[in-house]
Amino acid sequence: MRRSYQACLTAASLLVSACAVHPPPRHPGYSITIKAASNYYADYLLHVTREADRIQLRFGQFDSLRTTILAADPAIQALQAVIKAGNLHTLPAAERDTLHRRAMAAEECNTVYTWDRLPVTIPPTHRFAQLLDSVYASSVEQLERHAENRKGIILDGIHFSIVLQGTDRRVKKVQVHSPRPDSHPLVYRLIHESLQLYREQRPDDIRLDVRHTWGY
């Protein structure tokens, strides 16, 4: 009996030592950027950073365009030259897409936003933290849900571009048009609950009114 008791003590001691030497791994962390656009530029941006014990939200609202700098940008001039010559729709699709992407990147670089930052400390079991983890773990196909929404095409509304990036630098890019609870449940919850968390902390910020966030 004494030998068995000593063996248990030894095992317990080894377990404690192992835990001390090898602490539980920290949450790897990631960021999610949400761009809401009714035009080429974003009406507003949400940037969410997820860490082990903290979530930081940044809300940016469109302020202005640096039009003079933008007009002189080579990407904008190249697209305008093709449009003026009437050749845009005769270009190969890949070349046309490249022109548009470069022009949109130039516009984004010359767009001014007003920013607000909101650090939130919440436990990993919190509903919002679990929502972020679910979104980050999902594939692009699971978030965009093209197959499930074939018959539900919406021509107007607002377009969301979502970029998910981990500490390993891997990036996922998601494009969703006017998400609803039934069409894109995870994406809708991500946008709506991020804004709601902000509203709870900034109840008097008129920029966060649903009239200015397209109902989200």
pLDDT of 150 reads 79
Phi, psi (rounded to 5 degrees) for 69 = -65, -40
Q: Could you tell me the pLDDT band of residue 176, with boundaries at 50, 70 and 90?
A: very high
Domain-by-domain residue ranges, the chain?
Answer: 30-212
Other CB atoms within a 10 A radius of the CB of residue 213 amount to: 21
- Check if the beta carbon of residue 132 is closer than 8 Å to that of residue 46: no
- Look up residue 214 and give its amino acid: W
- Check if the beta carbon of residue 175 is closer than 8 Å to that of residue 159: yes
pTM score of the predicted model: 0.74
**Least-confidence region, from 12-16, 23-27, 39-43, 129-133:** 12-16
Cα 68 to Cα 29, 43, 72, 132, distances in angstroms: 38, 20, 7, 39
| pLDDT tens digits, 38-77 | 866 678 999 999 988 889 999 998 888 898 988 899 988 9
Q: Is the pLDDT of residue 166 over 80?
A: yes
Task: List the structure tokens of 175.
Answer: 């494009």
- Look up residue 153 and give its amino acid: I
pLDDT of 28 reads 67
- Look up residue 11 and give its amino acid: A
Mean pLDDT computed over 80-90: 88
